[in-house]
Structure 1
Amino acid sequence: MRRYRDKALNTGYLFFYSKALATAARLGVFDYIGTGSKSLKELAAAMGTSEHGLELLLDAMVGMGYLSKKGNNYSNTRCGREVFLKGKDLYIGDILRFHATMWEGWNNLEQSVRTGKPARLHNMFQDDKEETRTFIMAMHNTAMGHAERLASLMDLSGDKTLLDIGGGPATYSIFFCKANPRLRATVLDLPGTLEVTKDVVSRFKMSRRITLQEGDYNKDLPKGFDAAFLSHIIHSEGGEANIGLMKRIYDALNPGGKIIIQDFILKSDKTQPSFASAFALCMLLFTEKGRTYSFEEIKGWLEAAGFKSVKWLRRALPRDISIVTAFRS
């Protein structure tokens, strides 16, 4: 009983840590420190903060293991230089800043639970260019954590064309193409998103192998592909919309083509994995009908669309992400 009680109390306090980390990212703490060592006075002057408030935040970051402190000087840790400094492959600053953007929505969770309506419809964050860039680069940050591993797990060696539906920053397409020299990918997404995608694809020198195509996956899909990839899309849509999407993907594939769905997929009772069931609340806050789904639900949509050999692949990916694959007959 005591352990259960302590767990509940500790869960209640976890926002201390997440909000402190997001604030440090938004203020640029890690970038101001850089690869060297800076004093509190130097940092407060450069960042335009009070020394008192900044000292408390910096010490909290040290306590959480995200900064080092020697005397009155602060520095990034060895790992921190890889994940908190802009330009690094494993950088997560964009997703941390995006978390701060989502904070207001989560403050309205009680109201959304009462009404069943979202706190804010995000429209894929297309209304403001800066917000669009933050969102898409946040998705790039999270994808970089396992895109290379996923590309090694999926067999696309016999495929020449891939349709990345709602592909955002194209991170997965980039690594699928790197792992499969014969593969060419088409990333379908909204115009505002593709402005950001273009920069990411160019940075990885993949512009000749990855085509960007404006479109809305809820309307039409281009045809003639050997494989289709659907990453973190179904949780933004309701069940009926997803059934329609699976049918459009079936029609977009060549005979024998495969679909790869990546998402937070629930077990049949829809309570586990715990991140997946908690993420459903995020969809309540930011979409009209979105939520996370069980494998049985996804399998039903695929089979209704005509897909065969539906499989659920669980490969120890971050946040209990898992994969569903199926084939067009």
Structure 2
Amino acid sequence: MTSPWNDPNMSDEGALGREEPTAGRRYRDSVADSVRISDLTAPRKIPPGSGWRKFVYKTSFKLINPGESPRERHYRDLRGRIKRHIRRQYVITLISGKGGTGVSTLTASIGGVFRQCRTENVIAIDAVPGFGTLADRIDENPPGDYAAILADTDVQGYSDIREHLGQNSVGLDVLAGNRSSDQPRPLVPAMFSGVLSRLRRTHNVILVDTGPDLEHPVMKPVLENTDTLVFVAGVTADRSKPVLRALDYLASQGYHELVSRSTVILNDFTDVRDKAAIAYLSERFAKTGATVEVMPFDPHLAKGAIIDVQNELAKNTRLRLFEITAALADKYVPDTERY
């Protein structure tokens, strides 16, 4: 006997219990779901924060609100991207393949922008095996180093580990590298891994400043713990070719996925912008799959001293830093989506 449920001549309406929820009969949409409170009120226009718009807003006793300028809206969008939710930690490693390209400067600068926009703890780590200069860009007198953290057996939370970290005016923490010339303590893989495991408990965004020697043993745990790679290159041949070699080397060592989703920053060291060189290098680096960003020359960054992202940078430089940092925040991939 043929089951009535399988009768091909039976209409969809007769197959009660077998039809798709959206097929056949249509039910009226929920009235409550169709009502949005925002439809009942006029959209809020955010007051301007600078320029002639702010002047008009203030002098009219807030009766005339021209709204934000396009630049202010752009900054608000960038801050929103930088403030995106990050589960666990996000480790960003900056490398070059050649000294003198501005890796430490950009580590401190990008870290400063992250900390400016986020409420969670952000730290920059000096992982240069020799004598790193990262702390010189953030805090001239950091209280401790790797050895101090590893020797402290009573580190429970941020307030404990903070005793060993330097910090700048916006709250960016820094872990200094070896700063003692009379009693050098070479950085070894176990030291980096041990300290990083502790910092993962207290910091949400971690930036790692590295040296030019990619074959140094400490680079293995650095790369194994990296979520996003940032290559820093100059605009001249001698400051860009070593980075291309570094890209090829890391890809050949099994880090091709990191390389393919990396960022290359062309860091301009002069106030004479060579557009042809920038265009050529951008095209070459883009072939690796990396995102290419250009960092303009800024005299404040060129000083090699404490970096004040908030007050001392030129307007265009500060904007570029925010755009680069937002692009790096966009590259964050939660652990559950990586495989």
Tell me which interval the TM-score lies in, with the shorter structure as reference length. Answer: 0.3 to 0.5
* Larger helix proportion of the pair: 1
TM-score, normalization by structure 2: 0.32
* Larger strand proportion of the pair: 1
TM-score, normalization by structure 1: 0.33
Q: Which has the higher contact order (CA 8 A, sep 6+)?
A: 2
- Higher Cα Rg: structure 1 or 2? 2
